[in-house]
Structure 1
Amino acid sequence: MPQLPRQKELISSLRPYHATLVGESYLGRRRPVYDCTEMQIGAAKGFLSVLRSYLDSLCYNIRSHTITNVQSNDDKVSLLLKESFIGSFPYRDRPFMKEMKLGLNC
C-alpha cells in the first residue's frame, strides 16, 4: 500500500501522545485495562484530535467533487466524481488516494 498523504507530518504529530500512552501502560501493568489514568485519557484525546484533523483534511473538499440529485420526496443521492477528487491531491499523494478508491467500492 502506498504511503499516507503527509505521513511523516502525521507520525510526528501523533508521536508524543503515543509515547505517553505506551509509557503509562507500561507503568500501570497491574491495573486493569479499563482503568485509565488522567494522563492516558488526555493522551488518548490528543491522539484522536490529531487523527480527526488529519482525516478531515483529506476530505475537506469532497463536496466540490460530488453531484447531488434531489428527488421529489427530498431524498438526496450524491455521486462522487472519483477522478476529479483524486486529481485534487498533490501528485505525490495520488497513489494512496487511487488505492483507497478500490477500498471505497466506487
Structure 2
Amino acid sequence: MTYVIAQPCVDVKDRACLEECPVDCIYEGERMLYIHPQECVDCGACEPVCPVEAIFYSEDVPPEWAAFTTASEDFFTTLGSPGGASGTGPISADPPLVAELPPPAL
C-alpha cells in the first residue's frame, strides 16, 4: 500500500516530511498534506520527522482516522499523477472530509 497523512496534520502542515521525501510525492492541499498513493515508494522517511505524528503506514492508520485513507485517494482523483509535488505547488482544495472539519480552536 502506502503511507497516509491523518487528522493531526489538518491546519498544521509543518512540511518537514516534504524535505525528507525522496520521490516528491507529498502534495499540499488547502488545510493539510497528502501522500500520493501511486507515487509513494513506501520508504517511510516521512513518518519519523512528522512533529504531530500524523503519518501512518496505510495498514496502521488508527481506526478513528481510517477515513483519511479514502480522503487521500479522493484528493488525487482530480489531480491525477503529476509526477511530483514540487511542480504543482499548493492545491487550493481538500476532499470534503477535510474541508468540512471545523477550524481549530484558538
Fold shared, TM-score > 0.5 on shorter chain: no
Task: Compute the TM-score of the two structures, normalised by the length of structure 1.
Answer: 0.24
Compare relative contact order (CA 8 Å, sep 6+) and give the higher one, 1 or 2: 2
Task: Using structure 2 for the length normalisation, give the TM-score.
Answer: 0.24
More helix by share: 1
Question: Which structure has the bigger radius of gyration?
Answer: 1
